[in-house]
Structure 1
Amino acid sequence: MSSRRSFLGGAGAIAAAVGAASVGRSALAALPEPVLQTRPDTMPPLVPQSGRPYNPVVTLNGWTLPWRMNAGVKEFHLVAEPVVREMAPGFKAHLWGYNGQSPGPTIEVVEGDRVRIFVTNRLGELTSIHWHGQRLPNGMDGVTGLTQPGIPPGKTFVYEFEARRPGTFMYHPHADEMVQMAMGMMGMWVTHPKGRHPLIDEVDRDFCILLNAYDIDPGSYTPRIMTMLDFNLWSWNSRIFPGIDPLVVRHMDKIRVRVGNLTMTNHPMHLHGHEFLVTGTDGGPTPKSARQHEVTADVAVGQMRQLEFLADEEGDWAFHCHKSHHTMNAMGHGVPTMIGVDHSGVVRDIAALVPDYMVMGERGMKDMTEMEMPLPANTAPMMAGKGPFGAIGMGGMFSVVKVRKDQKPRDYADPGWYRHPPGTVAYEFTGSLPEPSRSGAPGSGAMAPAAQADVEVAVRKPGRHGGAHR
């Protein structure tokens, strides 16, 4: 963990820690050191060195927050602060988050753990943290004004409770929520079962993905916080494709993917090449009698879904949100549809005045993946990413599940592109094509066309004074 550690200036000098509810003063004698992570890479799983053992998760393009044990209590230190998040190579956003990143680090505990979280506010306004989906004392629920006072700038509050049930949860503010969540303040929480559980299977690889969305104008850095629905960047863990790392797995591994949604709309998550089971929700494990195989599962706002499958098909399999606009980056909603419009003559006239002018959209938008179009500084292309056969033509909520027979256990290194066995890749047909035959015969039976007479429609509408209009 030493590669992850960096001290936040002044955090160790905080003299007062104010509890969100009654907490023993011995707990406040010293703060655990805050740990900072600014690299956007997927960090290896944090194998527990203290406390109960468990099989750790991997947060895609993220990390797990280290802790210390203090008299049997697992202590964490979260720091709410402005951060710079690289959303894709060459594109950075000025967000708010925790411990150097947005989303904040994943918190991992074990069912029955006593947990103490110190939360230091480095923002310019009040904040709090709500532990989404947890069973805990009311005064630890994190709703500013209702269950606690807001955490003032420069102050530290303490949350303490028992992790009572296993599952996948989230954390986020309940203070100026419209701004703070739109700026990226959120994170995931995983509570592992303390022993064998009848509804929670052992898995070989366990991934965490938190869905988020931003509206960042091309050429700018800061999200527009007033946006309600028309976001232009749909992200996983505040990364957009091609900045999202692949989910690297070993052939025949059992895989769990935990997906949480803190955007403003639902996301149908779709996996190619495999079927999965939804084995858990925010409410806990799904009864086995209620599970059915799916290839797409809708994750609504504020929900979590656990997807599990056996990686029994080798290859590079797409995994993405199935809303078509959610696999694009920086899309302009005001762009007119130009499909089928021949404006070559206009192009010649405009190019005489603007030499770099380019035609867009007359054959669809896929051409943009091949263009070297100049973009404003700090702007992600709408569709980017190269595959072994050329431009992938995707952005946003898209990644690849890479299944390999020769991948070593617990090895998450990218194996490169899949080498397809001979004869297993779609290819161009070069023979002659028969002319399509079209039937002009009328339908029969129930499909026979009915005789139609000319009809003149007369509409009678009530008038303002009882009259009518024809």
Structure 2
Amino acid sequence: MSRTQPPAPLPPDETPQDPERRRLLGTGLGVAGALLLGARESAAQAAEPTENVPGARAPRQGSAAATASGTASQRWMRPGVPGRDYLPVEVPNGSKLPWKIVGGVKVFHMVAEPVEHEFAPGLQATCWGYNGKVHGPTIEVVEGDRVRIYVTNRLPAATTVHWHGILLPNGMDGVGGLNQRAIPPGETFKYEFTIRQWGTNLYHSHHDEMTQIGMGLTGLFLSHPRRPSGPRVDRDFAILLHEWSVEIGTARPNPNEMTEFNVLTMNARAFPGTEPLVVRTGQRVRIRLGNLSPQNHHPIHLHGYQFRITQTDGGPIQPSAQIPETTVLVPVGSTRTIEFVADEPGDWALHCHMTHHMMNQMGHDAPNMVGVDTRGLARLVQPLLPGYMPMGQVGMAGMEKHMEQMPVPPNSIPMKGLQGKYDYITMGGMFTVLKVRDGIRTYEDPGWYDVPAGTLADRADPAELERDGIDPAAPQAPAAG
């Protein structure tokens, strides 16, 4: 589980993101402090007459509101700055799209191009991505920002970019043929609009979508609120779910596949290639989940915790309507955001609960051998196929040792697995680990968790079995009812 970005130092315990606001609201000043802070913000905004009212949506270009108050293109706020205006999101195994400010506008440059991408150690493919990444770098902005995004096409085919779920003028929506000319190979197009909302959204090609999304032209588009409300989080993660068809031994995804996908990923990585999510005990955690899979919805389950679903791609959910869950269904083309307090240390699984989505490439399309008596089969077959060994008669668990001894096709990965602290982890695909630790000072992978004495499930003591009247060898009567 290697990290692609250097770990950031943790903030000190109890360090608020907005010290002045928390100090004022936490003292007897209360309302007076809040009014004072609001007055300071109003004065700062008055010095910038082109800004919108903070938190309000800019009017749509061409609407009556826009006509009355100036065009939407003239009404935006000062660019949001990380640390001052928002806590930057973490993208495990991913990256962020850099930006610069030109005339008060955040300027980005995206390059659509072929990318050599590693899904997990041992499996690499030629995909399509942005700026050398699959998935494309995450775009992170603030409500009220004016953004200008240049898109250069270095693919062998025309493309576009659709800003999925973003409120913007019709000519910026990115549907090839409907809203714009497709971007020919070698050309650069410009998209420009004002961010009038906050939440977790997506971007992807909207030209020959089956091919181009299937090849990897996707990414996350995150917008932070200009005036946050509610509990502040300490760790904010973003994960994009996707599925691929990479046939054994091939070097490219098959974008024409419609039903059978054999590589299931989080931020374009399959376990054991996924980074863990590392937090300190007691921190409030947000996990943003987006799904641009070609076919499947994904029920993402977190072990050890109950959480609340706080946002969809349509925006925040009012606290009274937030649903407590341990599994959240993330539909195709949607996002869901969950929040919880990490109050129990340990290594906790986070994964899709469609069981075949926790398998890697060579675990699919295998014959059903469960219950088959294969004694003597190897002796009969090996003269024809040296090295043959029957597999799967009691399921696929336990076969990892056999797989290590057998040659596998080039550029393919075994069914599943990673050696864990106690045994082999028979998981793959859309699976990662939330690692919660007491008192850590960095977000480096802390290794496997050492459980406290007396809290590890293990072989039962014979004396305890006798004490509790349990005879493992005795036949069991049918359960009552």
Q: TM-score range by the shorter chain?
A: 0.7 to 0.9
Cα deviation per residue 1:200-229 (whole Å; 9 max; x = unaligned)?
A: 531100001000111101111101111111
Q: 1:142 and 2:174 equivalent?
A: yes
- Check 1:381–1:40 CA distance in 2 against 1; reply closer, same or farther (3 A cut): farther
The equivalent residue for 1:317 is 348
Matched-pair contact (CA < 8 Å) for 1:42–1:245 = no
- Out of 329, 333, 347, the position equivalent to 1:302 is 333
> Residues 149, 345 of structure 1: CA spacing in aligned structure 2 closer, same or farther, 3 A cutoff?
same
Q: Percent identity?
A: 51
Matched, 1:219 2:246: no
Aligned amino acid, residue 322 of structure 1: H
Per-residue deviation, 1:438: 2.2
Answering whether residue 113 of structure 2 is matched by residue 81 of structure 1, we say yes
The answer (yes or no) to whether the contact 1:314–1:405 under 8 Å persists in 2 is: yes
Aligned pair 1:121/2:156, yes or no?
no
Q: Does 1:131 align with 2:170?
A: no
CA shift for structure 1 position 81? 0.2
Structure 2 distance, partners of 1:355, 1:428, is 39
From the superposition, tell whether residues 43 and 171 of structure 1 become closer, same or farther in structure 2 (CA, over 3 Å). Answer: farther
Counterpart contact for 1:347–1:357, Cα < 8 Å: yes
Judge which range, 92-101 or 362-371, deviates more.
Answer: 362-371
Match of 2:240 among 191, 198, 210: 210
Matched, 1:233 2:245: no
Where in structure 2 are the equivalents of 1:381-460 lying within 5 Å?
Answer: 381-408=414-441, 411-431=442-462, 434=471, 435-438=474-477
- Is 1:62 matched up with 2:94? yes
Give the TM-score of the pair, scaled to structure 2. 0.80
What's the CA shift for 1:91? 1.8
Report the 3-state secondary structure (helix = DSSP H, G, I; strand = E; otherwise coil) of the residue aligned with 1:308. Answer: strand
- In 2: Cα distance, 1:156 partner to 1:403 partner: 44
- Counterpart pick for 1:272 among 282, 286, 303: 303
- Whole-angstrom distance in 1 between the partners of 2:213 and 2:446: 35
State the Cα distance separating 1:50 from its structure 2 match.
7.5
Contact persistence 1:68–1:76 (CA under 8 A): yes
Tell whether the 8 Å contact from 2:248 to 2:362 is kept in structure 1 after alignment.
no
Instruction: Give, in whole Å, the separation in 1 of the partners of 2:193 and 2:234.
Output: 29
Residue 374 of structure 1 is matched in structure 2 by: 407
User: 2:82 touches 2:88 (CA, 8 Å); kept in 1?
Assistant: no
Partner of 1:168: 200
Q: Does 1:41 align with 2:4?
A: yes
Alignment size in residue pairs: 400
Q: Relative to structure 1, is the Cα distance of residues 157 and 52 closer, same or farther in structure 2, using a 3 angstrom cutoff? A: farther
- Unaligned ranges ≥5, structure 1: 1-38, 448-470
Structure 1 residues 168-209: Cα deviation after superposition (integer angstroms, max 9, x where no partner)? 010001001110000011000110111233xx5311000010
- Structure 1 letter corresponding to 2:272: P
Q: Secondary structure at the match of 2:383?
A: helix
The CA distance in 1 between the partners of 2:140 and 2:350, in whole Å, is 25
Residue aligning to 2:38: none
Shift of 1:52: 6.0
* Aligned CA distance change for structure 1 residues 439 and 59 (closer, same or farther; 3 Å): closer
Once the two structures are TM-superposed, the CA of residue 335 in structure 1 deviates from its matched residue by 2.2
Where do 5+ consecutive residues of structure 2 fail to align? 10-16, 18-79
Deviation at 1:404, TM superposition (A): 0.3
Higher helix share: 2
Gap change, CA 1:439 and 1:284, over 3 Å in 2: closer
TM-superposed CA distance for 1:333, in Å, is: 4.3
Residue 44 of structure 1 and its aligned partner are, at CA, apart by 5.2
Q: TM-score, normalised by structure 1?
A: 0.82
Other structure's SS at 1:370 match: helix
Deviates more, 1:40-49 or 1:390-399: 40-49
For residue 67 of structure 1, report the CA deviation from its aligned partner.
0.4
Separation in 1, partners of 2:217, 2:150: 16
Shift of 1:40: 7.4
Whole-angstrom distance in 2 between the partners of 1:116 and 1:139: 14
- Contact 1:220-1:378 within 8 A present in 2 as well: yes
**One-letter amino acid of the structure 1 residue matched with residue 281 of structure 2:** H
**Pairing 1:19-38 to 2, within 5 Å after superposition:** none
Do the aligned partners of 2:161 and 2:175 also contact (CA within 8 Å) in 1? yes
Aligned partners of 1:190 and 1:346: how far apart in 2?
56
Q: Which amino acid aligns with 1:427?
A: D
